[in-house]
Chains A and B, each alone.
Chain A
């Protein structure tokens, strides 16, 4: 069995999937079936909050696929997240029906307010869940495909690519702020009532959404692991570590990158779609370039180029954010800024990468001491090649790291 081989190869991924699936069952049960007075009861706000974090974790995992495994630092993943969110938000808006403030059965409230006479064409079909779900996948995927098609084909790499992805999300931010775009302008889409006929506010629906997020994340972990393990995954890392060399060997680096970028954008879109019903609003603020960069730090904290790393990073940083903004709101930006600096300087491989490093060292020294006891010559342990370690450009240089001029 392929799955077995996969799980056998890395226990950690199997554990992550198991924990996520278990959470998908246990948390709703503890929320719905246990009485509020019990010590095991999980309050509803907690369910919604962790559900939100799981969506962030999915977004961080999506970014990790392109950044950690393919070396494309996208500063615009928030855009794909928000687009998926808007697709879901449009479905939820249509579900309000005539229960809106203005009671118009077809037009959402903001359209009545802005004097729309009829539904814009791009809102057609969003009253069906299947269509909205399709759009959640298609819109971010298509944007990423078109964007990547142009960008990778003309070999826009490195910081240039980061900057233009940032410009992309910035352009979308400006566009969605416009009232005449037909997406609710500044206020975005909110005031949702039903999803698939169930009340969005109800505890049972929230628990179901939480379970859906956890299961989706587990699935994404599985898919990402499968991609990374496959032959294609090796190619992905080859492109990351030495793009020109891969190209000279006859591979089409741009296609390799394009596939990863598109898959990653679709994952980000799904994360956004799960996020919107849980927080109850989607507005253009989600396109803010600052948000996209924050996603990068989640991935970096957990450890890029690992699969569980981004999940751990997203959960930790967001838990920290919730705690900080509650206790010391002024200091959150100091903490976040410090985190950016500290992680890049001290923890370039993130928490998971560092853990791997320690374990590797530990193993090596144990092996060395065993060998010594056995009376053998102390041989220099072969340096463990950390599968996930990104090649540091400039490592070939005799003088150590040094700046490389932009060309």
Chain B
């Protein structure tokens, strides 16, 4: 039943869409039929103009058939067909729909003759047809094609189209297409120079390739102008490339900052390397997944809010797990940083396997809310919304954390413990509590980092693994106990990474960065922004 109903619906819809065009089609057929009566090129041209004047895109088929010399009149009944040669016979096709109607011998048909003048008229008519289309995207596409295949014959229809065009974006593209056509025409030098400057203003790779061919084929002032324009475009493109690398680097840096900042706090305050930090990020990502699942099944309307809902939950989940790890394991291992490292590694294995057992080893699908999908262009740069939001979010988290560290009493206690633990304890600060809460805070931040990362990365049990070494590098590079160090470390590593990628490839770039950091550590073993202290060893 469902099937039938669907088919019926489809039929009705097709009928509805066909009906209004049938009237127009009848007119077109009447016009096409006039080809049979037309004798001589001027008469044929009149019919072509009549068809073109209809402005219906459907005339494209008979007109291009005519231009190719494939339009025939059947002698018997003076009907007009498009034809396709198949040996001795010719397949007769309906001129509008292109469906096969019959076969006929060559002798039964008269070919409608065309000359070069007529062909040009047809091509102009066809070009104008799409240039005047009602849909702006069709006009854009037509202009783009004309830009890519410049032809002197395009200039006139483009001139007409430019005069009639109202959309500024389409108009610019029309002008560029016209300029491209001028460059291949035999117009005077002054026109060509103007055209070069129009195209140079476009400033992208297509303009570059067009100008390169112009430079090769022309002489004198035009050649010089093209060379200058190419140089200018190349330098702008290099700038945009650099800009793009910087943007990618900043984006990578924001991700690294999110992943590393919690690590930096725990490492700075407690001297504890938390190998399970990556798993906290993973827990945050899985919290997002669960929240989205619940929303999908129960409250579909809230989907755009899913991330906002997931943020506090992810913070709580990760912070609680972190607190449990600190109270249950790490506090027994203080003073033995290497053992702490091993124990937290064990915890990370357990957490990974737990998630794998519960959710399965495959990637889970976490959707982008509508305000995070899509992208926009800045010049030659495409900036995706999710990357931009993550950057904003990372800076926001950084700002909040900076506020907590510098302006709250808890932050003061944390800084005191970082600077001199025993002195802080003597001053009445409950260092065990500071430790526990710091660890929970660091883990919680990893959790919200997971919410952000779930938007750009695969949510799988191995999510954390991919970030942990990079996060360590950020912390080691930036120096511990200083949030600004982490910020600078994250962004400089991100940008250096992305700048190396085009030259060395993604993998080699990463290797180079690792080697650079290893060398850097030789020079400044405590990182960029080391805390000044008087102790001889950690």
Contacts and interface: CB of A to CB of B under 8 A. Distances in A.
Contacts of A42: none
| Residue from B332, B333, B517, B525 with most neighbouring chain A CB atoms (10 Å) | B525
Interface string A326-341: 0000110110111111
B271 interface: yes
Given A337-B346, A338-B346, A340-B346, A407 B335 contact: no
B535 interface: yes
Contacts of A377: none
A405 B353 contact: no
A406 B538 CA distance: 6
Interface in A213-251: 243-244
B533 A407 contact: yes
A406 B481 contact: yes
B511 A333 contact: no
B426 to A, nearest CB: 11
B525 A154 contact: yes
Interface in B330-379: 332-343, 345-354, 356-357
A404 B421 contact: yes
B349 A178 contact: no
B480 interface: yes
B252 interface: no
Contact of A405 (B270, B346, B525, B537): B270
Nearest to A340: B346
A404 B337 contact: yes
B269 interface: yes
A167 B472 contact: yes
A65 to B, nearest CB: 16
Interface in B496-520: 507-508, 510-511, 514-515, 517-519
A123 interface: no
B507 A340 contact: no
B102 interface: no
A337 B336 contact: no
B346 to A, nearest CB: 2
A296 interface: yes
A405 B342 contact: no
B60 interface: no
A243 B349 contact: no
Given A166-B472, A404-B271, A160 B338 contact: no
Nearest to B340: A344
Contacts of A128: none
B349 A407 contact: no
A14 B469 CA distance: 42
B522 A167 contact: no
Interface in B251-277: 267-273
A171 B515 CA distance: 8
B531 interface: yes
B523 to A, nearest CB: 7
A188 interface: no
A73 interface: yes
B53 interface: no
A162 B419 CA distance: 23
| Residue from B472, B536, B537 with most neighbouring chain A CB atoms (10 Å) | B537
B435 interface: yes
Interface string A135-157: 00000000000010011011111
A337 B347 contact: yes
A105 interface: no
A8 interface: no
Interface size range of chain B in the complex? 35 or more
A337 B350 CA distance: 5
B334 A405 contact: no
A168 B345 CA distance: 18
B476 interface: yes
A403 B270 contact: yes
| Residue from A166, A330, A333, A407 with most neighbouring chain B CB atoms (10 Å) | A407
A330 B360 CA distance: 11
Contacts of A293: 342, 345
Given A167-B472, A339-B346, A407 B521 contact: no
B435 to A, nearest CB: 6
Contacts of B522: 150-151, 153-154, 156
A185 B331 CA distance: 43
A191 B82 CA distance: 64
A167 B514 contact: yes
B273 A392 contact: no
A175 interface: yes
A382 interface: no
Contacts of B525: 154-156, 160
A153 B523 CA distance: 10
Given A156-B525, A163-B273, A341-B329, A406 B480 contact: yes
A162 B273 contact: yes
A362 interface: no
Interface in A158-213: 158-160, 162-164, 166-168, 170-171, 174-175, 177-178
Nearest to A155: B525
A395 B525 CA distance: 25
A114 to B, nearest CB: 16
B474 to A, nearest CB: 11
Given A156-B525, A340-B345, A402 B335 contact: yes
Interface in B383-432: 417-419, 421-422, 425, 431
B518 A167 contact: yes
A297 interface: yes
Contacts of A153: 522
16 contacts: A151-B522, A153-B522, A164-B518, A167-B473, A174-B510, A174-B511, A244-B537, A331-B353, A333-B356, A336-B349, A337-B351, A337-B353, A340-B346, A341-B347, A344-B336, A344-B339
Q: Which 7 A-B pairs have the closest CB atoms?
A: A340-B346, A394-B335, A337-B349, A337-B350, A333-B353, A403-B334, A171-B514
